[in-house]
Structure 1
Amino acid sequence: MWILLTFIALLIIVYWYTYPRLGEIMLNAYQQRAIQQANLVRRRYSINGISLSVLETEGARNKSKPLLMMIHGFTGDNSVWLSLATLYKDDYHIVIPDLPGHGHTGFSPQWQYDIEAQSTLLNALIWRLGYQKATLIGNSMGGYISAWMSRYKASAVQAQILLCPAGLPARRKSRLDALLDKGQNPFFITRRRAYYRLLSMTMSSSPYIPRMVKDVLADEHIRRVSEYQQVFGDFASTGYMNTQELAKTRVPTLIIWGARDAMLDVSALDNWLDCLSCDYEVFHDVGHMPMLEAPGRTYQRTQHFLHQPRADYAA
């Protein structure tokens, strides 16, 4: 009996010291495989004093392929685009930055994280890559950055695709709005369980994520909460986009929104459509992250938009 108890105790000890390390190994293996499938490599570019980490199409740059830049949202990183990037790899030179304060780019209290500063940084990255223009795909905060670039740095934008973009208010309150009204910011968490709730808010139909991988993601998020607070403060200080200025946008635009978005309610789409003459689509079974929840459908819809005659979308 004591042998069995000793064996069980050893198993518990091994589990304790390897968990969630095993989850970290699983996560890294998955991401590395997805990066390879998308024909991407990780590179760094020094842009405006920031060492920006990006995933970029492997090999020598082929300027015959147009540049496609994917821009993640608040507390995300460039890994959220890997499923979609795989579908685009044959047609575009892809670049997916980790925005300042996120992912491998890291954080500095001296950096600026407002929308204008991030737009300026990504505009400089386009030039650094040797391109004049890029097609932008932005989600949430990344959608706001894309919309800002398309209005104020339009010479560098070929077209833009906004997935549940921040930047304009919604006509109905989301779950996130309700929490913020109570003084509760679900991004600023101290426990894994709170991270699980946050994850359920970001996606309505999340791909399967093993529990130990979720715990790795939760621990990393919790470790960076104080950094995210500064990023959020700068981001929020930008306020909503000026609708009169937004209406001057002439970049061809597609907006995709998930009807089950708990972060930014789909009713915000009406305010975007009041300002922009653009194409749009609502995915009725999707939440805040269409590129993760429905990558195939997102790809098909964006491809249809990108192959339309440009005159169809001119304002």
Structure 2
Amino acid sequence: MEGGGAKVVMLTGSVLLLLPVILFVTSFMFWPGLIIRMYNWFWRRRLGLSVRYSVVGSFRFCYSTRGTPGEAQSLLLLHGFSANKDMWLPVVKFLPEQYHVVCLDLPGHDGTSRFQNEDYSINGQVSRIHEFVHSLGLAQFHLIGTSMGGNLAGVYAARFPKDLCSVTMVCPAGLEPPEDTDFVKSLREIEVRRNQNLDQDQNKESIALIPSSIPQLQEMLEMCCYKPLNLPKQMMMGLLQNRLPHNPFYRHLFECISAEESRYSLQKNLHRISVPVQVVWGQQDRVLHVSGASVIAAALPHSQVALLENCGHSVALERPRKLATLICNFLSAQEVTHGGTHKKNS
């Protein structure tokens, strides 16, 4: 009997040891999106980031943060269209811990409030970001944004220069560059068909940044990255699984930011930016043409422009170490040039 009892105990122990493995394999097979979220949670913990919330009226902001405001230079990072705060994890990995880092979920994204009647135009989102900034008490911070977030960062710098010491725009939207990518050309064709009422159901129009199948997701990744990402099938399924429920919102958001009011909002506001400006762009960007950098350089002759070879639109994913280094060098140069005063005369 004692031997049988020992066997039962050993068997029970083996099952308990295998249970986490079984749960992981089951989740990976049937709920791969959950595994990706768990991975991001683990990565945030490893980098010392904690997720927090700030409520302004009925609106809730979600953000991840590391460091203490006031004791170090604050960096506020704005993600791109249909992404979230976790897209900055590869970059945060290479940012010195001396910085106070804040990665915000933009309105409607991930943990931040999504309201049906919310103003998701560029100006509407900038106003919300301003509310968030003041809810945290951020002052004289460095603002970083990529793609749609780059557009938001530039317009924020134009509207609220007293909040900032400087701004970095990575492959920003909101410009009318000398050249267009095939992606932008396809959007123009969609717009022409809509204006001609050739397609009665606008929701049937396929937008490359809003995939609804694995092949479409693969096409989006190939368009956004210079080098193809050969991700495992289950990981692709997980990415798609996490995106699909939000596609109706992404489509609505895309309509808002591509409307006449917001389409060239950054370009319209460039002349109002008085803080030091850094521009980073992938030379092989197939979403927003790299010639957009020349538009900013012409309007802001003192801006610092870095064009990265062998890099596409997803700079934070493709060249995170390089981007972090460029940002740190830019901030260090501002401190030396202005003797600790981060403002530049307009």
| Fold match (TM-score > 0.5) | yes
Letter of the structure 2 residue corresponding to residue 197 of structure 1: E
Partner of 2:82: 75
**Of residues 121, 133, 137 in structure 2, which corresponds to 1:130?**
137
Partner of 2:234: 212
**Of residues 20, 24, 41 in structure 2, which corresponds to 1:32?**
41
Letter of the structure 2 residue corresponding to residue 299 of structure 1: A
1:168-179 → structure 2 map (5 Å cutoff): 168-179=175-186
Quick check: 1:194 aligned with 2:221?
no
Specify whether residues 16 and 295 from structure 1 end up closer, same or farther in structure 2 by C-alpha distance, changes over 3 A only.
Answer: closer
Distance of 1:314 and 1:291 partners within structure 2? 30
Distance of 2:181 and 2:211 partners within structure 1? 19
Distance of 2:57 and 2:308 partners within structure 1? 38
Distance of 1:241 and 1:272 partners within structure 2? 13
Quick check: 1:284 aligned with 2:309?
yes
Specify whether residues 219 and 244 from structure 1 end up closer, same or farther in structure 2 by C-alpha distance, changes over 3 A only.
Answer: closer
Specify whether residues 148 and 54 from structure 1 end up closer, same or farther in structure 2 by C-alpha distance, changes over 3 A only.
Answer: same
Distance of 1:306 and 1:90 partners within structure 2? 14
Larger deviation, residues 39-48 vs 67-76: 39-48
Q: Percent identity?
A: 20
1:107 Cα shift? Answer: 2.5
Contact 1:20 1:215 in 2 (8 A): no
Distance of 2:100 and 2:310 partners within structure 1? 30
Specify whether residues 257 and 130 from structure 1 end up closer, same or farther in structure 2 by C-alpha distance, changes over 3 A only.
Answer: same
Quick check: 1:270 aligned with 2:294?
yes
Partner of 2:253: 231
Specify whether residues 202 and 47 from structure 1 end up closer, same or farther in structure 2 by C-alpha distance, changes over 3 A only.
Answer: farther
Letter of the structure 1 residue corresponding to residue 44 of structure 2: I
1:42 Cα shift? Answer: 0.9
1:216 Cα shift? Answer: 1.4
Quick check: 1:293 aligned with 2:315?
no
Specify whether residues 269 and 55 from structure 1 end up closer, same or farther in structure 2 by C-alpha distance, changes over 3 A only.
Answer: same
Partner of 2:56: 47
Distance of 2:42 and 2:24 partners within structure 1? 26
Deviations 1:165-217 (CA, angstroms, capped at 9, x unpaired): 01111221212113213324213433221111112111213666432122111
1:19 Cα shift? Answer: 5.5
Larger deviation, residues 176-185 vs 33-42: 176-185
Distance of 2:126 and 2:146 partners within structure 1? 14
Distance of 1:158 and 1:206 partners within structure 2? 37
Distance of 2:236 and 2:139 partners within structure 1? 39
**Of residues 16, 30, 49 in structure 2, which corresponds to 1:21?**
30
Deviations 1:233-262 (CA, angstroms, capped at 9, x unpaired): 221221203646412311111100001111
Corresponding pairs, count = 300
Deviations 1:84-104 (CA, angstroms, capped at 9, x unpaired): 112225121111111112122
Letter of the structure 2 residue corresponding to residue 229 of structure 1: R
Higher Cα radius of gyration: 2
Deviations 1:209-238 (CA, angstroms, capped at 9, x unpaired): 432122111122222111111111221221
Contact 2:69 2:138 in 1 (8 A): no
Letter of the structure 2 residue corresponding to residue 290 of structure 1: V
Quick check: 1:139 aligned with 2:146?
yes
1:266 Cα shift? Answer: 0.3
Distance of 2:215 and 2:267 partners within structure 1? 38
Partner of 1:4: none
Quick check: 1:102 aligned with 2:109?
yes
Contact 2:31 2:238 in 1 (8 A): no
Ranges in structure 2 where 5+ consecutive residues have no aligned partner: 1-22, 191-205, 339-343
Quick check: 1:87 aligned with 2:94?
yes
Output the aligned Cα RMSD.
2.4
Specify whether residues 195 and 279 from structure 1 end up closer, same or farther in structure 2 by C-alpha distance, changes over 3 A only.
Answer: same
Specify whether residues 276 and 48 from structure 1 end up closer, same or farther in structure 2 by C-alpha distance, changes over 3 A only.
Answer: farther
Contact 1:48 1:121 in 2 (8 A): no
Letter of the structure 1 residue corresponding to residue 149 of structure 2: G
Secondary structure of 1:307 counterpart:
helix
1:283 Cα shift? Answer: 0.4
Contact 1:244 1:275 in 2 (8 A): no
1:161 Cα shift? Answer: 0.8
